[in-house]
Amino acid sequence: MGARDEWDVLYKRDDLTVSEVRKVSGNPLLPGEVRLAVERFGLTVNNATYARFGDDSVIAFWRVFPGPPGYGRVPVWGFARVEESRHPGIAVGGRYFGYLPISTHHVVAAEPGDRGFVDITAQRDFLHPWYRTYELVGEPGPLDDRWALLHPVYPAAFNLADLLERQAVLGTQSVVITSASSKVALALVEELAARQVPIRAVGLTADRHTAFVSSLELYDTVVPYASLPSLKVAGPAVFVDLTGDPSRRAAVCERFRGELCRTVLVGFTHPTATVLPPPGLAGPEPEVFFTPAVEAETIAAKGADSYHLRYAASESRFVRYTRSWLDIRGGRGPEAIVDSFRTLIAGEQPPGVSSVLRP
Ligand SMILES: NC(=O)c1ccc[n+]([C@@H]2O[C@H](COP(=O)([O-])OP(=O)(O)OC[C@H]3O[C@@H](n4cnc5c(N)ncnc54)[C@H](OP(=O)(O)O)[C@@H]3O)[C@@H](O)[C@H]2O)c1
Domain ranges of the chain: 6-140+326-358, 154-293
Distance 3 CA to ligand 1 centre (A): 39
Distance 180 CA to ligand 1 centre (A): 9
> 195: part of which helix (H) or strand (E)?
none
pLDDT of residue 2: 45
pLDDT of residue 1: 39
Does residue 266's CB lie within 6 angstroms of at least one atom of ligand 1? yes
Does residue 167's CB lie within 6 angstroms of at least one atom of ligand 1? no
Does residue 286's CB lie within 6 angstroms of at least one atom of ligand 1? no
Is pTM beyond 0.75 here? Answer: yes
By most ligand atoms within 8 Å of CB, the mutation choice from 128, 179, 202, 272 for ligand 1 is 179
What top-level class would CATH report for the domain 154-293? Answer: alpha beta
Contact yes or no for 255/231 (Cβ under 8 A): yes
Residues 6+ apart with CB under 8 A from 112: 87, 89, 90
Name the closest-CA residue to atom 26, ligand 1. 269
CA end-to-end span of the chain: 16
> 132: part of which helix (H) or strand (E)?
helix 129-132
User: Within a 10 A sphere around the Cβ of 120, how many other Cβ atoms?
Assistant: 13
Q: What is the pLDDT of residues 174-229, one digit of tens each?
A: 999 999 999 999 999 999 999 999 999 999 999 999 999 999 999 999 999 999 99
By most ligand atoms within 8 Å of CB, the mutation choice from 227, 269, 289, 295 for ligand 1 is 269
Query: 29-33 long-range CB contacts below 8 Å, 24 or more apart?
Result: 29/84, 29/85, 29/86, 29/107, 30/86, 30/109, 31/86, 31/87, 32/86, 32/87, 32/109, 32/110, 32/111, 33/86, 33/87, 33/107, 33/108, 33/109, 33/110
Does residue 291's CB lie within 6 angstroms of at least one atom of ligand 1? yes
Contact yes or no for 233/202 (Cβ under 8 A): yes
Name the closest-CA residue to atom 38, ligand 1. 179
In 3D space, the residue among 19, 83, 102 whose CA is nearest the CA of residue 331 turns out to be: 102
Report residues of the chain scoring pLDDT below 70.
Answer: 1-4, 57
Q: How far apart are CA 33 and CA 119, in angstroms?
A: 9
Does residue 51's CB lie within 6 angstroms of at least one atom of ligand 1? no
User: Within a 10 A sphere around the Cβ of 196, how many other Cβ atoms?
Assistant: 9
Distance 105 CA to ligand 1 centre (A): 27
Does residue 153's CB lie within 6 angstroms of at least one atom of ligand 1? yes
Distance 183 CA to ligand 1 centre (A): 7
Q: Which residues pair with 118 in a beta bridge?
A: 111, 133
Ligand 1 atom with the smallest distance to the CA of 187 is 16
Contact yes or no for 243/265 (Cβ under 8 A): no
Does residue 158's CB lie within 6 angstroms of at least one atom of ligand 1? no
Does residue 210's CB lie within 6 angstroms of at least one atom of ligand 1? no
pLDDT of residue 3: 53
Q: How far apart are CA 35 and CA 4, in angstroms?
A: 12
Distance 26 CA to ligand 1 centre (A): 34
pLDDT of residue 278: 84
Q: How far apart are CA 143 and CA 40, in angstroms?
A: 13
Ligand 1 atom with the smallest distance to the CA of 351 is 43
| β-sheet with 15-24: strand ranges across | 15-24, 6-12, 71-72
Q: Options 3.40.50.300, 3.90.226.10, 3.90.180.10, 3.30.1640.10; which CATH number does 6-140+326-358 get? A: 3.90.180.10
Share of the chain above pLDDT 70, in %: 99
Distance 270 CA to ligand 1 centre (A): 7
In 3D space, the residue among 226, 181, 223 whose CA is nearest the CA of residue 202 turns out to be: 223
Distance 50 CA to ligand 1 centre (A): 11
Ligand 1 atom with the smallest distance to the CA of 345 is 31
Buried b (16+ CB within 10 A) or exposed e, 15-28: ebeebeeeeeebee
Q: If DSSP codes are grouped into helix, strand and coil, which group holds residue 35?
A: strand
